[in-house]
């Protein structure tokens, strides 16, 4: 079987986008892990499957370990670019598990509404009722810790505000936080340093993927929680390890703007 695919990346977060044979791929965790493998497959942070459902373009996200994700801001921008510039579809409406997404091109960047943020402990979800904007992890030492917050934007997120990102050993702290018992379904982790009220720096550790150069839903959850906690403004610039992203908060919804690139198109033989 030959499977055509698109390799895409947004801010260093890379994806395999497939819109053929998607039912076969979705049923096989083994196949998803094979395609995601950077040594024997194609290689990616996530696989995105697209399936048209009437006037909507339904997307499913899969982490490189075969587990499912519910949202991906950088991936959504890449899907929007693929649909509009490769498939030539005008104003496509993209549907993830929990949200409807629309996008637009702004000069050489792409903007997508990633979804509504919830701070409800049940929706993140945590295993028990806690103040989601002031979490405590007694047995984990985090250098220069200021505050730990959490939120959901389809995916669960843990936002760790610190004084200096250079003091963070992400390979050590990332796995400890992502799988902390407080998070019922684990959580993507953002380590963040505030540079000003409109500029932050971030590092990411994702459930099912580990260390990634960027995390779109994590960027949005981080921007929202920092704004709610009065650390930053509604519109901010985010410095990732390899690029820059921009967020804008409109009530509970976060818009994410940044690069999206089609790296190459090909097919893989299974």
- DSSP, residue by residue, 197-233: TTEEEEEEEETTTEEES--HHHHHHHHHHHHHTTSS-
First-residue to last-residue Cα distance in the chain: 5
The rounded distance, in Å, linking the Cα atoms of 127 and 31 is: 32
Confirm whether 44 is a catalytic residue: no
Reading the block at residue 13, the tokens are 């977060």
Of 44, 78, 158, 215, catalytic: 215
- Contact assessment for residue 142 and residue 160, using Cβ atoms and an 8 Å cutoff: yes
- DSSP, residue by residue, 176-204: HHHT-TTBBTB-EEEEEEEEETTEEEEEE
- Contact assessment for residue 10 and residue 214, using Cβ atoms and an 8 Å cutoff: yes
- Contact assessment for residue 133 and residue 228, using Cβ atoms and an 8 Å cutoff: yes
Confirm whether 215 is a catalytic residue: yes
By CB atoms closer than 10 A (0-12, 13-18, 19+), residue 108 is exposed
β-bridge partners, 239:
201, 244
- DSSP, residue by residue, 64-113: TTS-EES--HHHHHHHHHIIIIIS--SSPEEE-SS-EE-EEEETTEEEEE
Of 44, 72, 78, 158, catalytic: 72
Catalytic center residues: 72, 215
């Amino acid at each position: 079987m030959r499977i055509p695919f698109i390799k895409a990346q947004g801010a260093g977060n890379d994806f395999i986008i497939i819109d053929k044979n998607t039912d076969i791929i979705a049923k096989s965790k083994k196949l998803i892990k094979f395609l995601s493998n950077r040594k024997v497959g194609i290689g990616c942070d996530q696989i995105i499957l697209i399936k048209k459902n009437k006037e909507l373009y339904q997307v499913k996200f899969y982490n490189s370990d075969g587990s499912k994700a519910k949202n991906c801001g950088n991936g959504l921008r890449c899907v929007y670019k693929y649909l509009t510039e490769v498939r030539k579809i005008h104003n496509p409406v993209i549907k993830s598990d929990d949200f409807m997404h629309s996008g637009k091109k702004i000069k050489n960047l792409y903007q997508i509404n990633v979804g509504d943020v919830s701070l409800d402990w049940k929706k993140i979800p945590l295993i028990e009722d806690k103040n989601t904007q002031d979490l405590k992890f007694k047995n984990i030492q985090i250098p220069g810790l200021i505050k730990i917050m959490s939120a959901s934007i389809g995916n669960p997120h843990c936002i760790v505000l610190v004084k200096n990102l250079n003091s963070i050993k992400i390979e050590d702290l990332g796995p400890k936080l992502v799988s902390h018992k407080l998070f019922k379904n684990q959580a993507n982790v953002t380590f963040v340093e505030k540079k000003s009220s409109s500029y932050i720096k971030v590092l990411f550790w994702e459930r099912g993927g580990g260390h990634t150069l960027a995390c779109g839903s994590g960027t949005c959850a981080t921007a929202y929680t920092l704004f709610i906690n009065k650390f930053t403004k509604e519109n901010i610039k985010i410095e990732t390890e390899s690029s820059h992203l921009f967020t804008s908060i409109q009530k509970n919804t976060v818009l994410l703007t940044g690069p999206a690139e089609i790296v190459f198109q090909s097919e893989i033989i299974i």
